[in-house]
Structure 1
Amino acid sequence: MHPYENIKISLLTKHKKENVIAPKFLKMLNAEIIHTDAFDTDELGTFTRDKARYGNQLDAARRKAMIGMEITGLKYGVASEGSFTSDPFIGLLPWNHEIVIFIDNNLGIEVIGSSKAAAMSSQSKIRNWKELAKFSRLNKFPTHHLVLRPDDENHPVLQKGISNRIVLEEAFNQAIKLSKTKKVYVEHDLRAFANPTRMKNIAKATTDLIQKLKSLCPNCHTPGFQITKIKAGLPCELCDMETRETMERIFTCISCDYEKSEFVKKKKADPAKCDFCNP
């Protein structure tokens, strides 16, 4: 029996993340998520910049998990935190990185799941209703909610959670009246319940976390035995030169530091991935 089967795990969230996190823990680990919203997680930071984030992404996730454990009195806690930036490939597309952290106060360990994917996190300055209608049409509104504020991204007056056309039009009319530049700043509402694309990425990060939790150290049987290093150098099938393709993965225990090396099953790399054969 896995050490985390049948345990109860706290989850602090006010943005409906329990809808994707709880089913994963139940199905993959037979563990029960105890949801609480007794603390306003917006106090630890908002995507609309009206409240600065608590520390970095990991700091905020860890703090949420610890507060949830304090509220519920449980020794196990889970929480998630997201960040948004440009994609790492061409630097032009919106990109979302989600982490989900699990804390075990009994063993004094934490394990982190992660997922990175394309995001719905666009923004624009618009001058009239026609431009706003076009923006909303191109950005999956109303399933993905919007935020409006006068002038720019720093204006203190804003309306979040806009999820239908009537409210959108009312919010636009209010914002344009307050605008000194006669422009309205529109952006995606990035809270999990308001952004289905992000919610899917949280689910993927949760899967990654649970897979790590299910992996036990061969030496001390602590959960979270995971890949910590990847070594490239798989030889090219054509010229036999080293490529940047993965040749070896190294797993490390988070408790006793036991390491295990695992070579990939593939013996040779595709010449298309070789810098010498295909520069």
Structure 2
Amino acid sequence: MEQHYGKNYSSNENMKTAFNPLEQEEMSKLLSMQLGPEYISRRSGPGGASVTYLEAWKAIELANEIFGFNGWSSSVQSIHVDYIDESKETQRYSIGLSVIVRITLKDGTYHEDIGYGSIDNCRAKALAFEKCKKEGTTDGLKRALRNFGSSMGNCLYDKTYIQRISKMAPPKSDFNYSNLLQRNRQRRRAPSLRPPSDAQKVENETKASIKTEQLSEGNSKRSLNNMKHGTKEDFQTKGNEYSALPNPRLSPEIAHSETDLYADEELDTFLMHNDRPLIPESPRVDDFEEYV
């Protein structure tokens, strides 16, 4: 059968970087721990039995968390096609192949294992190979990672652990809106789905009080500004109010009172003493005596 070999990246001495003692101690501690129920998935296996497994994306996240995103790498060492059967009647393909995957840490430490991928009665040969290679590579990746420790999936082969962990319910996890990477690079706040706590209520009341004070102060400033710099509509309104006042010629108290200077040109003309019509003097007593 056809077999393909990849490059051995671990042979390059220049790529090796040793872990410091603190990193080694932390990694050893994390690798010796067993996985929680939130990492474990289940599916039906042969004969209806339940199979416990670790999903590939969770295994990669664990490797990034423990080794660091730049502390490990994976490489395909070989792909071996075990069989390929083609049915001339149905024009369908059945393929099985094995993939050897190597996981290498930055200090040169590596583990490798074999993965397998297969498919039966596929209509297209290209789709059959695509599915088998992806499946075999993913399987080999997870099997190679489990050699590093219990937390990388090796604990799933412990029957006692599986019996006990199956009775534990995974914790509920809310969707993390603040962890969304968007084009504008801004993190969204998660909508409040839970009732606020006492501390949150006090904080909300304090913010509302501060906002109310700011609005009140802003309204006072705007009112004072309008008094100093009135608009044309304000002047016209004031003019209408002054025009509705009693005639100053008939009311001495209003004529001699101080009037605010919120008026337009017509109101100024109305209030100026020089432009007022002359008021004839009242007849004197002597004038009446002339007619007696």
TM-score (norm. length: structure 2): 0.25
Could you say which structure has the larger radius of gyration? 2
Query: Structure 1 or 2: larger helix share?
Result: 2
Query: Structure 1 or 2: larger strand share?
Result: 1
